[in-house]
Amino acid sequence: MNLAIVGMQFGDEGKGKIVDFLSENFDIVARFSGGSNAGHTVVYEGNEVKFHLLPSGVLRGKIGILGNGMVIDLKKLQREMEMVRELGVEPKILISSRAHVVTSFHRILDEMEDEIIKIGTTKQGIGPSYAAKHTRIGIRIADIFQGDLEKKLKLLSEIHRLELSEEEIKKEARELKETGEKMKGMVEDTEIWLNNAIDSRKSVLFEGSQASFLDIDFGTYPYVTSSNTTVGGIVTGLGIPPSKIDKVMGIAKAYTTRVGAGPFPTELHGEDGEKLRERGREYGATTGRPRRVGHLDLVLLRYATVINGIQEIALTKVDVLSGMKRVKIAIKYECDGEKKRFPPANINNCKPVYEEIDGWDNIEDKNLQRFIELIEKETGAKVKIVSYGASREDTIMR
């Protein structure tokens, strides 16, 4: 079976842990979008390991695919691979020859642009890399090994008026080639390799980055990432047909968090928000920024279930809400006087309509079961996994 994992909220739902937990039963783990702006945290032999580019399943010795839909900072990838080796695991990685490269020029542009538009990017060069890809001036992994790399970098510099010297362009080309040569043996036409592997009955876990409401089309635009993070991104970001995705699992927290700017209808402010942030250790894996926190939003989960075709849900961090007397859940939105079960394109003026239920004290509490049943009823998807801690062991299959 080939299983897709997608985030159902604004990211940081615990996809890294769930992928690590599930990957034991798969041959291959494949990333299809994003770059080093992603942050997936896994607990390995008592240590917290933070991935940004590598698929989380590499710690179990699985083959990791970095698909054509990704934008890859090669130096950061190299450092991440060294980190895994220091843990005593040799990462088995294949990098798509068609994936685009994040250069230092893209990172400069990211910082410059976010000063103007102020959407709170991670400043990892992700947006400018995707922009270059779509304006046909991007640099792919395959281009590193061609003779015209300096020419491509110069074009990128001139179009964006970066006013870089010839020596700076040569230095960037030299460093890209040096790093690329070290990884040349991992570069593959992964779309052919992956399709052949599936046809040979190898099982694949498709690992999403970010989440549905950061999707460039379906998220809270313009406060989104620069790629398709929903299930459709698997098809375009790995080069496989939809018929090879057997099941879609959505990952959702028992509450909601968001990093950076953008609308957040159920956001908690003040002391209540600070308490939840501290209880959940809600700080970004990539930037370290404190996450905004709020109540569970079933309007978002309902929509994410529809657009991704989610059949099963992994519900994470239920332990963070343990001990609360009452738990608030957004059931609908009120937008300009209208009640909505699904979020409109602009949710800035939407206010949540809440339902309250009794809280729970532990994983076996009947009130937690009622919470889960409410999620299942409102989304139509089965809560298959319940996670109540950071380690692999703190997980229940239902």
Mean pLDDT of the chain: 93
Same domain, 77 and 172: no
Same domain, 292 and 245: no
Sign, CA torsion 273/395/58/206: negative
At residue 345, the pLDDT reads: 97
* CA atoms of 249 and 3, how far apart (whole Å): 7
| 33-90 tens-digit pLDDT | 999 887 778 888 777 888 899 998 899 999 999 999 999 999 999 999 999 999 999 9
| 316-334 tens-digit pLDDT | 999 999 999 999 999 999 9
Please give the tally of structural domains in the chain.
3
Catalytic residue among 20, 40, 73, 160: 40
Confidence of residue 111 (pLDDT cuts 50, 70, 90): confident
Residue 116 predicted with pLDDT over 80:
no
Which stretch of 17-26, 129-138, 230-239, 282-291 has the lowest confidence by average pLDDT? 282-291
Domain-terminating residue out of 152, 167, 182: 182
Average pLDDT over residues 232-261: 97
Does residue 189 carry a catalytic annotation?
Answer: no
Same domain, 334 and 261: yes
Same domain, 203 and 282: no
CB neighbour burial string for 27-48, b if at least 16 within 10 angstroms, e if fewer: bbbbbbbbbbbbbbbbbbeeee
Which distant-in-sequence residues (6+ apart) come within 8 Å of 292 by Cβ? 257, 258, 259, 264, 267, 273
Same domain, 209 and 64: yes
* CA atoms of 79 and 74, how far apart (whole Å): 9
At residue 46, the pLDDT reads: 78
At residue 285, the pLDDT reads: 65
**HEC readout, the chain:** CCEEEEECCCCCCCHHHHHHHHHHHCCEEEECCECCCCCEEEEECCEEEEECCCCHHHHHCCEEEECCCEEECHHHHHHHHHHHHHCCCCCEEEEECCCEECCHHHHHHHHHHHHHHCCCCCCCCHHHHHHHHHCCCCCEHHHHHCCCHHHHHHHHHHHCCCCCCHHHHHHHHHHHHHHHHHCHHHEECHHHHHHHHHHCCCCEEEECCCCHHHCCCCCCCCCCCCCCCCCHHHHHHHCCCHHHCCEEEEEEECCEEECCCCCCCCECCHHHHHHHHHHHCCECCCCCCECEEECEEHHHHHHHHHHHCCCEEEEECHHHHCCCCEEEEEEEEEECCEEECCCCCCCCCEEEEEEEEECCCCCCCHHHHHHHHHHHHHHCCEEEEEECCCCCCCEEEC
At residue 304, the pLDDT reads: 98
Are 33 and 209 contacting, i.e. CB atoms less than 8 angstroms apart?
A: yes
Residue 147 predicted with pLDDT over 90:
no
Are 156 and 139 contacting, i.e. CB atoms less than 8 angstroms apart?
A: yes
Tell me which residue range forms the domain holding 9.
3-95+186-249
Which stretch of 61-65, 289-293, 364-368 has the lowest confidence by average pLDDT? 289-293
At residue 287, the pLDDT reads: 67
Confidence of residue 284 (pLDDT cuts 50, 70, 90): confident
Q: Which residue has the higher pLDDT, 125 or 382?
A: 382
* CA atoms of 362 and 349, how far apart (whole Å): 36
Same domain, 35 and 83: yes
Does residue 12 carry a catalytic annotation?
Answer: yes
Q: Which residue has the higher pLDDT, 237 or 50?
A: 237
Q: Which residue has the higher pLDDT, 208 or 380?
A: 380
Which distant-in-sequence residues (6+ apart) come within 8 Å of 377 by Cβ? none
Residue 286 predicted with pLDDT over 80:
no
Domain-terminating residue out of 249, 272, 288: 249
Same domain, 387 and 328: yes
Q: Tell me which range, 36-45, 102-111, 218-227, is most confidently predicted by mean pLDDT.
A: 218-227
| 14-26 tens-digit pLDDT | 998 999 899 999 9
Same domain, 91 and 223: yes
Average pLDDT over residues 293-305: 98
- In this prediction the pTM is 0.93
Same domain, 265 and 375: yes
At residue 283, the pLDDT reads: 85
Same domain, 242 and 356: no
At residue 208, the pLDDT reads: 87
Which stretch of 30-39, 103-112, 140-149 has the lowest confidence by average pLDDT? 103-112
Domain CATH for 165? 1.10.300.10
Same domain, 199 and 230: yes
Same domain, 196 and 50: yes
At residue 391, the pLDDT reads: 86
Domain CATH for 70? 3.40.440.10
Domain CATH for 297? 3.90.170.10
